Amino acid sequence: MAEKRNIFLVGPMGAGKSTIGRHLADMLHLEFYDSDQEIERRTGADIAWVFDLEGEEGFRVREETVIQDLTELQGIVLATGGGSVLSKETRNRLSARGIVVYLETPIEKQVARTQRDKRRPLLQTEEAPKEVLERLAAERNPLYAEIADFTVRTDEQSARAVASQIIEQLGF
């Protein structure tokens, strides 16, 4: 696995991809990117605004382009958006261009970690957040597992401890 220089973090919202990714990049002296932040940088607007204006479909097109561009870089840690795996092309790119780590998190932890976050458009509905997260998990968890080189649970550890565990699994 060590021949692949990029590390791509996949998993549901609230798994800690961005926080863990920053620690991982810092510990390995790699550049850190977050696909959602890159979309915001390129559009000059936040994710919720992009969703409002273009819908989820428009957002996913932007996300696919950003991930295509970022995965062409070398020596990076990339935190992907939770729904990025819905695109077969994105799954193929992630698998081919780096080591994919699935950050697995129970629904209860996701609910706790996202309950005050108003920047998550898929949770800003009439539907209860737990129900939304369960529905998304049923659709997406098999896709995360399909492309993962390995899986790490993030529920009972600090972000730094998870990053250390990933480095240990990578054999770095």
81 is in an annotated binding site: no
Taken in order 52, 54, 59, 62, the sign of the CA dihedral is negative
- DSSP H or E stretch at residue 108: helix 107-114
DSSP 3-state percent helix, strand, coil across the chain (nearest 5): 60, 15, 30
Residues with Cβ within 8 Å of 128's Cβ and at least 6 positions away in sequence, in order, are none
Has 42 been labeled as part of a binding site?
Answer: no
- Asked if residue 88 belongs to a known ligand binding site, the reply is no
Q: Is 91 assigned a ligand-binding role in the annotation?
A: no
Please tell me whether 14 is known to bind a ligand: yes
* 82 assigned ligand-binding residue: yes
Is 157 annotated as contributing to ligand binding? yes
Q: Is 17 annotated as a binding residue?
A: yes
How far apart, in whole angstroms, are the C-alpha atoms of residue 71 and residue 89? Answer: 12
Beta-strand ranges (E) seen in the chain are 7-10, 31-34, 76-79, 99-104, 150-153
- Whether the CB-CB separation of 59 and 50 falls below 8 Å is answered with yes
Q: Is 60 annotated as a binding residue?
A: yes
Annotated binding site for Mg(2+): 18
Annotated binding site for ATP: 14-19, 120, 157
Annotated binding site: 14-19, 36, 60, 82, 120, 140, 157
Annotated binding site for substrate: 36, 60, 82, 140
